[in-house]
Chain A
């Protein structure tokens, strides 16, 4: 049994995968690296010692004591890395379990409210319907938040599933726009989409891409400046899609509130909400852009943005063409 455990510990690749960390952050791998460093330095000390110290016993003593010190330091460092990695893994697992557990009651709640709203039990008055709608909106929000949390925990555990196939990206963007049409109209926002002609197919995950495009468009529409009396500005969201070398470049430009310069470096961080946005909208988890960036990275693309407070933001990302 002990032998088996040791063997398992030696399978560095599997151990690192368990933590969902890259090689250089993985305790088991670091332990091996430390080991190699200790061996090399021991040999070095031995070589130097033999050259400069005449007494062989003295050489042995120096080599032994320095090796021991190095070994202790390495063990301490590796151990603390291991603890950190373990804590982070447990946190992700905890989030995952809690979110899964929350899903059942949320879908029960959602369906029960829908049942009440459908008027199948008894007819619903206008006032009742108004309040039922509030309940529905909030249970939907809860559902979305839990979905986002699950996606984040999957990303952190390195378990985000990708199902790639050949797709025409412009079709997917058009679909996402259609899905947001009602929301855009209600927010007095005009969406303009001009894809380049004859764009090549890409090999990517359509459902994840839909999530990403939907998220960026939703942001572009959602954060429009509050109405000022006398000012009649039509808000516009402009989407472009073009080929750039071996990539497709998707860009969405809005005339929204923009992101203050001091907040810009935190935009892709988890749970971050810009200060000026909080004045307009308290909804939202601050997970959207973190998820978007993680998925784009996994799909082999790049993402960034430019923004000016009070004028608007432009978010863009690239995706590799057929690999």
Chain B
């Protein structure tokens, strides 16, 4: 069984790039272009890992994370936050809410992000 990764991110360029790489690595990627679709797909597809942007249309990443962690069925899914917000308050807030890792996009290379994904999937 391929492991499923849900990518909640409004930049379609990133959806495309990550989709292709994750597929090559042997994962199945499900893409969600806004927070609302993201939340729906978390329920429907029960992914093994969630990659989450914070600035999202409709429902922002903070609320998405909150809802995932409040729901008994979804609270154990690891969430990697992938964003360009880098305020210390945001990082603290997100980690306290139960995110596994917080990655500032500008500071990580593609390979480093992949390594974090593999690590989170165990």
Contact = CB atoms under 8 A, between A and B. Distances in A.
Nearest to A109: B13
B111 interface: yes
Given A103-B106, A107-B106, A112-B13, A161 B21 contact: no
B63 interface: no
A108 interface: yes
SS of B interface (majority): helix
Contact of B17 (A112, A146, A147, A163): A112
A108 B24 contact: no
Contacts of A27: none
Contacts of A100: 84
B17 A107 contact: no
Contacts of A94: none
- Give chain A's interface residue range (CB within 8 Å of chain B): 10 to 19
Interface string B105-122: 110011100000000000
B94 to A, nearest CB: 15
A155 to B, nearest CB: 14
Interface in A145-183: 146-147, 161, 163
Contact of B106 (A106, A112, A115, A163): A106
B1 interface: no
A212 to B, nearest CB: 17
A163 B14 contact: no
Contacts, number: 43
B11 interface: yes
Q: Which of A111, A118, A163 has the most CB of B within 10 A?
A: A111
A103 B88 contact: no
Given A111-B17, A120-B20, A161 B87 contact: yes
A46 B87 CA distance: 55
- Give chain B's interface residue range (CB within 8 Å of chain A): 10 to 19
Interface in A105-147: 106-108, 110-112, 114-115, 118, 120-121, 143, 146-147
A120 B21 contact: yes
Contacts of B14: 108, 111
A11 interface: no
B110 A147 contact: no
A147 B106 contact: yes
A108 B11 contact: yes
A109 B111 CA distance: 15
Contacts of A106: 106
Contacts of B89: 161
Nearest to A116: B17
A269 interface: no
Given A114-B110, A120-B21, A120-B24, A103 B84 contact: yes
Contacts of A120: 20-21, 24
A25 B113 CA distance: 45
A249 to B, nearest CB: 28
A104 interface: yes
Contact of A115 (B21, B84, B88): B21
A114 B21 CA distance: 11
Contacts of B84: 100, 103-104, 107
A163 B88 contact: yes
B4 to A, nearest CB: 21
Contacts of A147: 106
Nearest to A111: B110
Interface of B: 11, 13-14, 17, 20-21, 24, 84, 87-89, 105-106, 109-111
30 contacts: A100-B84, A103-B84, A103-B105, A103-B106, A104-B84, A106-B106, A107-B84, A107-B105, A108-B11, A108-B13, A110-B106, A110-B109, A111-B105, A111-B109, A112-B13, A114-B109, A114-B110, A114-B111, A115-B17, A115-B20, A115-B21, A115-B110, A120-B20, A120-B21, A120-B24, A121-B20, A146-B106, A147-B106, A161-B87, A163-B88
